[in-house]
Structure 1
């Protein structure tokens, strides 16, 4: 029988996974295809959405760590969730560089992109591409 802490961990991992998939891989790229959404508007929306997502992710990670303290999971689940938490920490470290770059685009009088996507953006996406399978593996391991 699954205890409360364990059930909470399962729910949190899959909520976290769903949020990342919905926002990073659905909302983020699609908003730029909407009629009338300029680069400046899209970046403004993206900054708000990703700041909120990262805040919720930190809360979810804290809940997971607390749940693991009460009911430690198998090693596979702990390592996978640990990888996801480390990826999130990396993304939080990259956010200031992304904010500086989006500030420059938002300040451009013609709203043009001053040089394509930044390395920081690619780094953020790369960390997201590691975080998603880590959460999936962690969730499945918690269910096993």
Structure 2
């Protein structure tokens, strides 16, 4: 295994763990903490997901750079999965999350407000991203 492949594998699994921990543990659990109101929880979530998206972009660039360094040895599956996870990240971070932020800033985050299609779309993108990262990790380990 080359150093680039090792870095790529490490970045994939660090990213996978971050998405699982933040999107599927921290995000829903924060609203159950004593004293957390919906507006406070939404405010925390906006900060956490903005930071997560920045770290994700850095990890994707690391994965992409490692892929480019070993492009001659990369499989079609590896290339497709790296591109797909980048597209998923881009849709969530550059399209859906900013739209959700604008909605919250315009309408506020009052309790009892139902989740929107945007929220469901973001969750869907996170589920897909988790699957893509897991598949990429398996494909890289098998190479």
Same fold (TM over 0.5): yes
- The equivalent residue for 2:89 is 88
**Structure 2 Cα separation of the partners of residues 96 and 133 of structure 1:** 23
User: How many angstroms apart in 1 are the aligned matches of 2:79 and 2:15?
Assistant: 15
DSSP-derived class of the 1:32 partner: helix
Aligned residue number for residue 25 of structure 1: 24
* Contact 2:64 2:82 (8 Å CA) reproduced: no
Q: Which runs of 4+ in 1 moved over 2 A?
A: none
Aligned equivalents of 1:119 and 1:48: distance in 2?
A: 21
Determine which structure has the larger helix proportion and give its number. 2
Match of 2:64 in 1: 65
TM-score, normalised by the number of residues in structure 1: 0.91
Q: In structure 2, what is the Cα distance between the partners aligned to 1:119 and 1:24?
A: 17
Structure 2 residues without counterparts, runs of 5 or longer: none
Supply the distance in 1 between the matched residues of 2:49 and 2:117 (Cα, whole angstroms).
17
Matches within 5 A, 1:44-55: 44-55=43-54
> What is the deviation of 1:142?
0.3
**RMSD of Structure 2 on Structure 1 (CA):** 1.2
How far, CA to CA, are the matches of 1:46 and 1:18 in structure 2?
18
Task: Give the structure 2 partner of residue 11 of structure 1.
Answer: 10
TM-score computed with the length of structure 2 as normaliser? 0.91
Query: Does the 8 Å CA contact 1:17/1:132 hold for their aligned counterparts?
Result: yes
User: What is the rounded CA distance, in whole Å, between the counterparts of 1:60 and 1:68 in structure 2?
Assistant: 12
Contact 1:78/1:138 (8 A) holds in 2: no
2:125 maps to 127
Consecutive unaligned residues of structure 1, counting only runs of 5 or more, are: none
What residue in structure 2 maps to residue 141 of structure 1? 139
Offset, 1:17: 0.5
Matched with 2:77 is 76
* 1:64-118 alpha-carbon deviations (Å, 9 max, x no partner): 1111110122222222222111110110211221101221224xxxx434x4111
